[in-house]
Amino acid sequence: MKRLWGRHKQSVPNLSPALLPLSFVHKLNRQNWAQMQALPGVYGQVDLDRFLLSFQDELYEGSLPVAEAFFRQLVVQTVQRVVDRGAIRVVVELGCGAGINLINIAANCAIRAVGCELSPAAVSLIGEIASDTGLPIEAVRRNYMKDSISDLAKGEDWGLMTVHSIEQTPEIDVSWIERILDEELPPKVGIHMEPLHVPGGQFAAECKRYAEINDYNREFMATIRSAEAKGLIEVVALDPRIIGSQAHNPTTLLVWRPRERSTENSIAW
């Protein structure tokens, strides 16, 4: 990815620093799709224009690039809705990967975007992009399941965000939420865009079976409900299975706020 960033900078020398990272995200997506098409033994025969997608609880054949663009815009719009209400000045993404969401959020929401990531290569790449462009993004190498994270906000009101990251951790119990809320500066809001397995009909059951086969997290929605029942948090938005660019691993949007802060900078969804 760092080599790709270096080549990208050289290939578009006249592109403005504001557009450089956004065009890199597009190029990175194109490379990922090309790799999928080059590995039929792993992904099957991939037709980007006839890809199996899901919207709400319906399956469709459609364009994977269009669905991905819709999904990335959904991430940006969700953060912007919180920012518009004056609730946060920093968003901290747990498990940020190569920083695609950080780039999109910082470029579109006029907010500082910080990532927690285990991969040192990804952290280094994000730091290089920030240095080259001046974009207000950064990343640190931390295990968000164990390490403190509130210091990354540097004293400013912040929002916690995960985007298809918690799905990779088979078990997260309510003690994780308790630990985050007990930090010196707890988040004002939690935003999760994950396959949360909200109960539903046949399609919801198929999605949960998909998670079982792949050993993805299947209990985080129950963890959220336990935290709510204990009076730790209040769920302010829940929109199940909005979109699945991997059809049976669709994104559910969930937004919560700490219960004791529910009257401060209230988020009306």
What percentage of residues in the chain have a pLDDT greater than 90? 88
pLDDT digits (tens, 9 = 90+) for 216-235: 999 999 999 999 999 999 99
Residue 104 lies in a domain: yes
Q: Across residues 238-257, what is the average pLDDT?
A: 97
3-state secondary structure of 109: helix
Amino acid 43: pLDDT: 87
Alpha-carbon distances, residue 134 vs 7, 9, 12, 208 (angstroms): 19, 14, 17, 41
Structural domain includes residue 107: yes
User: Residue 222 CB: number of other CB atoms within 10 A?
Assistant: 13
Longest CA–CA separation in the chain, Å: 55
Domain region containing 80: 48-261
CATH code assigned at 215: 3.40.50.150
Q: Give the tens place of pLDDT for each residue, 41-66.
A: 988 999 999 999 999 999 999 999 99
Tell me what the mean pLDDT of segment 243-257 comes to.
97
Distances (CA, A) of 29 to 26, 195, 229: 5, 21, 40
Overall domain count for the chain? 1
Domain assignment present for residue 138? The answer is: yes
Q: Which range has the worst mean pLDDT, 43-47, 90-94, 132-136, 265-269?
A: 265-269
Residue 16 within any structural domain of the chain: no
| Residue 108 within any structural domain of the chain | yes
Does residue 136 fall inside a structural domain? yes
Coil, strand, or helix at residue 36?
helix
